[in-house]
């Protein structure tokens, strides 16, 4: 099949009427049609937020990657633009894989990985290199004549000659840098750093980080940025072994707070932590906007699992809500953006609800924001049941005895079940939750963003009930709800 931008745009235009709406999200970015995965090229440019994404326009499954494109003024309401990149050159003929964006001299540059197959085995027969495309208006992009700008000949000894991808480009001290994900061929992920004066000519600047054997066998989608004088590395380790209650997904995300030495080509850090503790959060990418906020979005889905919307719905994949990244001591916290408040409607408020047992709340819905503060008192367990109808329910619970918060979707509807847990300390006996439910997603901000858990759920359309429960006496100090439209 020959892929072109024109063919992709025409196919989307002629087929998007086929979309089924029952699981389509109300306030999250999805593909206009068919497949979406990693966020790419997340940038604030000429007064708009641009989000590109890995995209296969022709089926709701992973295929030869294109770059879809959408823009927003507030990261809530999105407008689709023409497909930005298609695999139409020899240096990207089997996929325009993930990458990033940067503004230079008023133009918008996309740096991305070209994927080239060399044989019939898609798991083994390939290599990857880095390319550049440029636009004057942020809509139509031209691939530069000198591609590839980082060739396989520039891969250092000891790094994989195949897995060499996901460039995240940034400017620091008058030079351009890019971090790339890779591995050492021996089961350890690594991050490579390159330097340039002009985005076109690049030189290897060092292997800045390497797995110690506990962080997965390949590192993808690195993102390196500065926050309040500290350097932050976010990346996505593949096949990382579980560690206690953490990292139970096939592929994970983690962050390190440390220091980047560009002269020595090293990133120093002491510890790492999950970015998200739920089911469906991968390949996060950040940008900084004109307000100075560092904002992160991720793919709200999981690799190598069946997605209910792939069957007859003509779409698959979505992005998380945008989250502001803040530094709190030696940890990151993640908070919803202020912009969400403009989309609230139908407010509801209740206070001092005494709990012991199961209680139907006077509220319901399938697209809403819920803020709840629990006072634990004598309860052995307490929490919420969302999207309830008959046997269907999504359960969020906390047990003071083991200080574990649980997100259980065993009865959530179609799709995968399972439970994710994270350690949470009560603050003066209180648990504060800020929960965003959309048609087929749940995002839970715990204790003001100290921990976040994200998951896709696929309940029936009648499953709109909201219940609270406790085993033993506790109290809901406050409960606030708004529909989000």
Give the list of residues 6+ apart from residue 302 with CB closer than 8 angstroms, or none. Answer: 249, 250, 251, 279, 280, 282, 416, 456
Give the list of residues 6+ apart from residue 115 with CB closer than 8 angstroms, or none. Answer: 65, 87, 92, 94, 95, 96, 97, 126, 128, 165
Tally of CB atoms within 10 A around 358 = 11
Of the candidates 46, 48, 69, which has an alpha carbon nearest to the alpha carbon of residue 57? 69
Is the CB of residue 235 less than 8 Å from the CB of residue 191?
yes
In degrees and rounded to multiples of 5, residue 245 shows phi and psi of: -90, -5
Of the candidates 244, 249, 234, 270, which has an alpha carbon nearest to the alpha carbon of residue 423? 244
Query: Which residue shows structure tokens 């070209």?
Result: 114
Distance CA 184, CA 94 (A): 24
Distance CA 336, CA 343 (A): 13
Give the list of residues 6+ apart from residue 359 with CB closer than 8 angstroms, or none. Answer: 353, 467, 468, 469
Is the CB of residue 70 less than 8 Å from the CB of residue 80?
yes
Give the list of residues 6+ apart from residue 308 with CB closer than 8 angstroms, or none. Answer: 23, 414, 415, 458
SS3 letters for 289-320? CCCCCEEEEEECCCCCCCCHHHCCCCEECEEC
Which tokens hold the place of 307? 């997605």
Task: Provide the phi-psi class of 303: left if phi over 0, else alpha when psi is between -120 and 50, else beta.
Answer: beta
Distance CA 403, CA 245 (A): 12
Instruction: Please identify which of the residues 9, 22, 38, 330 carries the catalytic annotation.
Output: 38
Which tokens hold the place of 304? 């190598």
DSSP classification of residue 92? G
Q: Is 38 designated active site?
A: yes
Which residues are catalytic, by number?
38
């Amino acid at each position: 099949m020959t892929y072109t931008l024109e063919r992709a745009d025409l196919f989307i235009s002629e087929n998007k009427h086929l979309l089924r709406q029952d699981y389509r999200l109300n306030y999250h970015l999805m593909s206009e049609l068919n497949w979406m995965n990693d966020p790419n090229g997340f940038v604030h440019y000429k007064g708009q937020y641009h989000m590109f994404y890995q995209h296969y326009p022709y089926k709701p499954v992973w295929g030869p990657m294109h770059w879809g494109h959408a823009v927003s003024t507030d990261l809530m309401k999105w407008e689709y633009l023409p497909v930005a990149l298609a695999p139409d050159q020899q240096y990207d003929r089997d996929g325009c894989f993930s990458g990033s964006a940067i503004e230079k001299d008023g133009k918008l540059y996309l740096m991305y990985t070209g994927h080239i197959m060399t044989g019939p085995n898609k798991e083994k027969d390939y290599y990857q290199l880095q390319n550049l495309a440029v636009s004057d208006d942020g809509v139509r992009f031209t691939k530069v004549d000198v591609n590839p700008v980082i060739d396989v000949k520039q891969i250092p000894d000891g790094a994989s000659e195949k897995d060499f991808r996901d460039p995240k480009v940034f400017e620091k001290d008058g030079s351009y840098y890019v971090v790339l994900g890779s591995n050492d061929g021996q089961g350890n992920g690594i991050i490579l750093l390159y330097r340039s004066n002009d985005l076109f000519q690049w030189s290897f600047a060092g292997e800045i980080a390497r797995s110690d054997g506990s962080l997965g066998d390949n590192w993808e989608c690195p993102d390196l940025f500065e926050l309040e004088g500290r350097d932050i590395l976010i990346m996505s380790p593949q096949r990382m072994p579980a560690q206690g209650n953490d990292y139970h997904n096939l592929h994970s995300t983690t962050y390190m707070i440390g220091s980047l030495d560009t002269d020595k080509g090293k990133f120093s850090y002491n510890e790492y932590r999950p970015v998200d503790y739920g089911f469906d959060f991968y390949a996060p990418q950040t940008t900084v906007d004109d307000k100075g906020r560092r904002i992160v979005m991720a793919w709200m889905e999981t690799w190598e699992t069946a997605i209910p919307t792939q069957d007859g719905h003509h779409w698959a994949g979505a992005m998380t809500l945008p989250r502001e990244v803040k530094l709190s001591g030696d940890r990151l916290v993640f908070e919803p953006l202020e912009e969400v408040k403009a989309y609230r409607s139908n407010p509801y408020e209740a206070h001092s609800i005494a709990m012991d047992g199961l209680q139907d709340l006077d509220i319901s819905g399938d697209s809403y924001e819920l803020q709840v503060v629990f006072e634990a008192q004598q309860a052995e367990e307490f929490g919420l049941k969302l999207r309830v109808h008959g046997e269907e329910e999504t359960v969020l619970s906390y047990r003071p005895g083991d200080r574990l918060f649980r997100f259980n979707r065993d009865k959530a509807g179609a799709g995968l079940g399972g439970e994710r847990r994270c350690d949470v300390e009560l603050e003066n006996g209180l648990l504060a939750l800020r929960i965003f439910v959309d048609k087929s997603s749940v995002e839970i901000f715990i204790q003001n963003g100290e921990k976040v858990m994200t998951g896709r759920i696929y309940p029936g359309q009648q499953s709109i009930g909201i219940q609270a429960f406790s085993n033993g006496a506790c109290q809901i100090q406050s409960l606030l709800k708004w529909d989000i439209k």
